[in-house]
Structure formats: structure tokens, C-alpha cells
Chains A and B, each alone.
Chain A
Amino acid sequence: MPSLTLLGQAVVSGLLAGGLYGLLALGLSLSWGLLRLVNLAHFALALLGAYLTYQLGVAFHLSPWLAAVIIVPVFFLLGVGLHAVFAYFRVTEFTSLLVTFGVTVIIESVIQWFWTADFRRYETPYATASTRVGPLFVPTLDLLACLTAAALALATWAWLRFSYVGKALRASAEDPAIAAAFGVNHRAQAFLLSGVSAAYAGIAGAFIALISTLAPSQIWAWVGVVFAVVIIGGLANPIGALLAGLLIGVSESVTMVVVTPAWAPLVSFSVLILLLIARPGRV
């Protein structure tokens, strides 16, 4: 059994890593839950965002915060464009998965074409900064990512809960025909949501660039865990996605400390399997 300090540190790192899971899950959860589109390309977009942040920083000495200001609107438009294709071809839930798989492979190829398959590391002065809380270290960047995830999750929740657009989106997800009969313009809102979801991928990307080492194959590393987070959190439930991200993050990092790092994936997927079997109504 590891020491209490080690365990405490594991919980802290798990929470912080979980924030990033939650941030990635947020956009996926929205488009899946409200548009019934499974956007596998969300991971590719996030990594593309990370590489763009890296490129803007390395080549133009643009700070990551300024890079994000550029990337977010561009990604919003990318999301709108992707949805335009889906809307034009009336893509179904399942076809969306296959089409976005194709998009993912194309983005992966583009990344590999420009940045090669080699690992890239974005060196910033913030990378090693951390705050000390008692015996525990809290890395500043990870904390920032986690706080951003929490802020976005709360804002998105409030948006869906209280704004007209949010209510209209939820109504359309329940029954598009009835919602349309009551004057909901589902098409316009779907474009907005798809754009927002892609913009979230861009924000997640900026943090990925700052926190982790980049390689094109990283796209696939996130898929399993984040899908688990999305389902555990409940579709189109921003707070749920955040909490599920934190839960999975903590359970993974505690497993790493208590057992061995290699067993970590077993935890998240066992949680997912048990949850799906016990509560199949969540998806």
C-alpha cells in the first residue's frame, strides 16, 4: 500500500487529468446527444488544434492563449462545415460514425504529412510551473485545463437549461418533427451546436499541446476512454461529462499507484461495461 501522500497526489493528478477527459467528452456528448451524430473526428480535431497551437508557438512565437483565440473561431467554422455535409446527405447516427472515421484518418494523414510521425514537445515556461498545497504538487497547466473544463461544462449546462436555443435543441433531440411543428428551427441550431462542439475540441487541443507530447497516433489513444466518459456521464449532459471525466481520471491514477500503471484501462472500461449492463437507458 502506497503512502497517504502518494495516494493524495494520485487523486490530485487524477482529478486534473480527468478534467481534460471531461473537456474532450463535452463536445462529443453534445453532438451525440442532441444531434444524434457520433463524431469520431472530434479527437482528430482536438489533436489538430494541439498541433496548430504548437506550430503558431514555435514558428510565430505566438503565445498559446493568442493561438487559442485564432483557433477557436476557425474550428467553429470547421464544425459548421462538417455539419453542412451531414445535413446535406441526411447522415444517420451510424453512418456519421463511419464518415467521421474517414475524416479522422484524413486529419491524421494531414498531421503526419506536415509534422511527421515523430514526437513533438511544445516547451513553454509554464510547463514545469506548479503550486504546492501542503505536501501535494498541483501543476499549474493541468489545474488551468481542469478549471476551464469545469467553467465550460457549467456554462454549457446553463446554456442548454435556460436559453431558448438550449431548450429548442433539447426539444429537437426528443422529437424533431414535433419541435419543428412548434416553430423550432432545428437546422440553424444544429449548425450552431456543431460549431460550438468543434470549438471545444480546439480549446482541448490548446491544452493538449501544453500538457502532453504530440504524435499523430495520439488521436486513437483518447477514443476508448473518452467514449467511456461520455456514456458514463450521460449523453448531452455537460456536468455529467465533467464528473465522469473526473471519476475515470481518479480511478485510473489511483489504480496506477495502488496496482500497476498497466492495469489502469481495465478500471474505466469495467465501470463502463457494468454501467451499460445495469443502466442501458443511458445511451
Chain B
Amino acid sequence: MSARGRSFAAGLLGVGLALGVLPLVGLPAFYESFLYLVFSWIALATSWAILSGYAGYFSFGHGAFFGAGMYTTATLTTALEVPFLATLPAAGGVAALLGAAIGAVVFRVKRLRGELFGLLTLAVTFVLATIVLNTRIDGGPGVYLSAVPLPRLVSSPTGTLYLLALGLAVGTVGMAWAVAHSRLGLGLFAIHDDEDVAEVEGVPTLAYKLVAFTVSAGVAGVAGGIHAMYVSYVTVGETFSITVPLYVVLMSVLGGARHWLGPAVGATIITASLYAFTGGQQAVLGRAVVAFVLIVVMLLLPEGVVPAILRRWRAWRPQRDAAAAAESLAAHGTAANAVAGTSAIGDRHVVGMGNTIDDGHPRAGTTPALECNDVWKAFGGIQALRGVSLTVAPGEIVGLVGPNGSGKTTLINVVSGHYAADRGRIALGAVTLTGRPAHEISSLGIGRTYQIPRPFAHFTAWENVALAATFGAARCSPQAARAEARAWLEFTGLGRRAAAMPHELNLHERKFLELARALAARPRVILLDEVLSGLNPGEVAGAIRLIRAIRERDVAILFVEHLMRAVLELSDRVVVLNEGEVIAEGSPHECVRAARVVEVYLGKAHVA
């Protein structure tokens, strides 16, 4: 565990223990009951945010998982007389299973958007409520748990429930922290910003969403199990009401759904302010006040309270912070140099990128790195690729040219796994790529850039590149990934911009960030989609030098480009596409003179 992890765990445990002794020293039952509700909502809101806050899939189905847990405990304790504590794992398990099942169906829906996911999960809640209401699980009158014995952890029953909820809340916050600082969390944050790119960078998006949804549902189930005992009378109307799904959303968004502590802070604020107004007309007024505060906060601090406070805090102490950042950069810089010295980025590649060492350049004739064989792809009635075959050898630069709409970008999308080919075979060395999901293709060693740069908007330039190093073929640990990313930022000349957010970068920098990100994954084949378009002549010259330096690493390069000067200068071979077919292939100069190519670009020559 990292030093930060140890100090976090110690702090969390300290808070947990301090709150845990309260029932022993005789906290009045009223406060126990109030704090129980706070802890319960913290567990619910924090668990919700693990999928919905981190990955941005807002679920309105948390009530379904909470209710599943409640009814599991209610049924087991009353109908089967299972001891209460033993039902809690079952409550969590049933809810987790439900989450996994819903996720397995819903996440396969193509083009699943946020609102769609929210509505689907809400609809599932209503369906579940109807089923519970009309079957023997409830049947209508509700379930009484008042006769169920409650084990005595401390002298009072409320004290016992208090401790259970506290334990769950502390455990959930600890888990939220751990996820946020893990590979899983990194992947979820990337899914939030751009799911397609995350997948292409090697994040197993489906598996990650499913894991997050299952965990999130499981915690809600346990919270429901405990709550069944707290209310001691379970009804469908109360359990599956709109309250739980809406409150967890409000609490998390108020506190800051992308931050591990945000939902806990939001839950505390909302529960406390609702509790402050109890009874009669005052409660009505209280609800209105809470709602008004919510509106104001949402309008003024849409990112949430915790991130907003952290931002102010950093702005308040700019000097200390800047010094720390510089120190950290220096430290990472050293680490990067160390990596560069020993690993494959070694001197020959980074330091000696100006050298023209020509040893071991496999040219045509060696085993191809990338091989496309008779690849077909149609979109509805439009045949985008008609049997494209091409190869790229290690260390070879192949230019892919053709008029607009000729299928160049489609080919890149099919090779990188974004679209599945209808027919044909694509292979990387001896490994078949066709039929694999994009993240697997990425980790096998295919990297790509996007014509219009698509950086993760909430990641710094450095984090963007580090993500690729974590999930791509490089498979670095998060620490190693930062060092690796640093080296690739230096390689592409973005070293000084490491801490910048993507929106602060200009087009040229964003294009190079795309390149750094693709390279950090350590691909064996890199697909460049118009990296030069929109750059000025000086920037183009820099980019051309960079692409040559990449080739020195025996990476196979397939680059799509309209800029003929760059194509002629860089390519070992050129493949010309038109209407989804290869119409010419050969040396750059041969190709641009071929009659068929001229005709495609300029039209048929008519003899006057």
C-alpha cells in the first residue's frame, strides 16, 4: 500500500473508531437514530457514485437495490427465521446479482446514453415494485419485523443498528477511495469522459461498468437489509418510492459525484438539514428550504461542494502548491530519465532520436506487423470497404491516401476494433484481431490517433498519456505509467504542458497529445488519422521528424493523410483507396503518377 493509502486508511479508521465508541459512552437514542440515518445515506450515496459518479452513468435504480436488500432481509428473517446478521450478506448478494443482471442486459444496448440508462433503471425499479407487491414476497399488506430478534452488539437496539450502519458507511467510503485510486477507478473516469476512446485505449469498458454496478448495487442491498430492521415494517410504497433514487443523486451531485468523499458530504448536509425541520408545517417549510438550497448549489457549483472547496483551497495557497508541483515534476522527471535509461524507450530512441541508425530496419519482405486480408464493411446500404487487403511491416511507414469518403478512416476504425468487420481477417503478426473487442486489440499492440483530437476532458495532459500507458500494450502499474507518460510528453515536446487540461491546449498541442497517448501504450502498429491536418508548415515539419523518430523504434505506421508533401516525404509505400477499394499500391512517386489515381483525384482527362 502506498504511503497515501496508509495515511488514508489510518484516518478513516480513526474517524470510524471515534464514532464507534459513542454508543458505549451513552449517546442518547435520539442522536443514535439521527446518526444512523446519516450513515445509511452515506453508504447509499457513496455506493451510487462508484458507478454513476465515476463513470457518469446516472442510475435511478438505486431504490431497486435498496428495496431488494430490504425485502431479502424481511423475507429471510420472518418466513425462514434466519438470524438477522446472517441475512445481510444475502441482502447484499441478491442486490448485487440484480445489478449484474440488469447491467448485463442494459450495457449491451448500443449507443446507451446517460438519460436512457437513468430511465431504464427507474423503470426496472417500478417493475420490481410491482412484482414484489403482487407476489408472496409482500402481497400487499407489508412485512412486520418487530418480532425478529436483534443481536445486541451494545446495550441498546438503536446502538446496534448505529454500529452496523457506521461500519457499512466507513467500509463504503474506504472502498470508494480505493476504487478512485485504482486501475478500475482510472478506467471508470475515462469512461465518463469518452467511452469509445477509453475502449480503444485498452480499458475493458463493459467489464468495468459491470463490476462497478454490481458493487454499487451490493452495498445498497446491505444498507437495505439493515434498514428493514430499523423501520421494522416494510412496505412496497415506502421502499420503492422515488425518494431513494432521487436523494442519492442529489446528495452525490451536491457533494461532488466524481470525488470519493463528495457523496458522504452531500449525504450529511441533506440528512442533517431534513432532520433539522421535523414535525407538522415546519417539515413542509424545511423541505422547501432544502430544495431551494439544492437549486442554488446546482446552479452555482455544478461540479459539487467538495471539488469546489478543493479548488478554492488550492487557489488560496498558490505558492506552496506551485512549489510542490515543481518538486513533484522534478521527481517524476528523474524517474522518467531513469526509465528512459533502462527500458525500451532507451537512449537510442529518445535521446538519440536525431541519429540515423539504420540497423535492423526491416523493410519489405519481412513478416508484416499488420495484415488486412479482404476486409469488408457496410453501413446500411453504403459499402465503405470492399475487400481491402494491405500489409505494414515493422519499421515501415505506409501512407493511406484517397479522396474524402474513400474509406480511410473506416479502415482505421475497423482495425482498431471500433467497428467490427463484416468479412475478412485482420492480424497482428500471428494473432487474429478480427472479432476481438477494441480494448483487447489495444492491449495486443494497436495504437491510434483521432483526426479530431479526443483527449479525456477531465484528465490533465499527463494523466491522459498515463492512462494509455496503464491500459495499452505497455500495461504499466499506475506509478510506472506516470514516469512513462512523462517520457512520452517530453518526446512529443509537451513536457512543459504536462499539468495542462486539454481545453487549455491549442490544436497543435492536442494533436501531439494524441500522438503521445498512442505511443505511451507501446503499440507495435500505430494508426495515424490525419495528424498533420490543420497544422502550420513549421508544425508539420516537427511532426514529420516525430513520425520518423517513431519508425526508428520498429513500430509499423499506417498513416492517413491528405497533405501530399508529407506523404511523399515520409512513406515507404503508398496505398490508394477509392470507394472502399485499393486502386493503387507502390512507391509514393509511382502512385501519384498512376493514371487511375490522377483520375480519381482530378477527374478523367478529356482530350480537347
- Chain A interfacial positions (CB closer than 8 Å to B): 38, 85, 89, 91-95, 98-99, 101-106, 108-110, 112-113, 220, 223-224, 227-228, 231, 260, 262-263, 265-266, 269-270, 272-273, 276-277, 280-281, 283
Contacts and interface: CB of A to CB of B under 8 A. Distances in A.
Given A262-B133, A263-B130, A91 B299 contact: yes
B250 A98 contact: yes
B163 to A, nearest CB: 32
A109 B287 contact: yes
B246 interface: yes
Contact of B291 (A89, A102, A281): A102
B116 A95 contact: no
Rank and list the top 3 A-B pairs by shortest CB-CB distance, nearest first. A105-B291, A109-B288, A102-B295
Nearest to A264: B130
Contacts of A269: 123-124, 126-127, 130
B597 to A, nearest CB: 34
A106 B291 CA distance: 6
A243 to B, nearest CB: 19
A262 B134 contact: yes
A227 B120 CA distance: 11
Given A109-B284, A220-B242, A263 B134 contact: yes
Contact of A276 (B119, B242, B281, B292): B119
A94 B300 CA distance: 15
Contacts of A263: 130, 134
A223 B242 contact: yes
Nearest to B287: A109
B124 A273 contact: yes
Given A270-B127, A272-B119, A276-B120, A106 B288 contact: yes
B130 A98 contact: no
Q: Per DSSP, are chain B's interface residues mostly helix, strand or loop, or mixed?
A: helix
Interface stretch (B107-115, B357-365, B443-451): B107-115
B373 interface: no
Contacts of A270: 127
Given A38-B115, A276-B116, A113 B281 contact: yes
A101 B250 contact: yes
A273 B294 contact: no
A272 B299 contact: no
Interface string B113-139: 111100110111011011101100000
A231 B241 CA distance: 21
Given A263-B130, A283-B115, A272 B109 contact: no
A91 B120 CA distance: 23
A218 to B, nearest CB: 13
B498 interface: no
A102 B292 contact: yes
Q: Per DSSP, are chain A's interface residues mostly helix, strand or loop, or mixed?
A: helix
Given A95-B298, A265-B129, A277-B106, 10 more contacts: A89-B300, A99-B298, A105-B290, A105-B291, A113-B284, A224-B122, A269-B123, A277-B105, A280-B110, A280-B112
Contacts of A89: 299-300
B130 A103 contact: no
Nearest to A282: B116
A223 B122 CA distance: 10
Contact of A224 (B110, B126, B249): B126
A283 B127 contact: no
Contacts of B288: 105-106, 109-110
Nearest to B139: A262
Given A102-B294, A106-B292, A94 B299 contact: no
Contacts of B250: 98, 101
A105 B287 contact: yes
B253 interface: yes
Contacts of B285: 109, 113
Contact of B109 (A94, A105, A280): A280
Given A105-B288, A113-B284, A98 B249 contact: yes
B140 interface: yes
B122 A227 contact: yes
Contacts of A265: 126-127, 129-130
Interface string B215-248: 0000000000000000000000000011000100
Contacts of B295: 99, 102-103, 106
29 contacts: A38-B115, A85-B299, A91-B299, A94-B114, A98-B294, A99-B294, A99-B298, A101-B291, A101-B294, A102-B292, A103-B295, A105-B291, A109-B291, A110-B288, A113-B281, A220-B242, A224-B122, A262-B133, A265-B129, A269-B124, A272-B119, A272-B123, A273-B124, A273-B127, A276-B120, A277-B120, A280-B111, A280-B112, A283-B115
A223 B241 CA distance: 11
A95 to B, nearest CB: 6
A220 B126 CA distance: 12
A283 B116 contact: yes
Nearest to B281: A113
A277 B109 contact: yes
B302 interface: yes
A135 to B, nearest CB: 30
A17 to B, nearest CB: 17
Interface string B319-363: 000000000000000000000000000000000000000000000
Contacts of B249: 98
Given A98-B250, A109-B284, A266 B115 contact: no
A55 B155 CA distance: 54
A109 B292 CA distance: 11
Q: Which of B105, B130, B253 has the most CB of A within 10 A?
A: B130
A103 B133 CA distance: 31
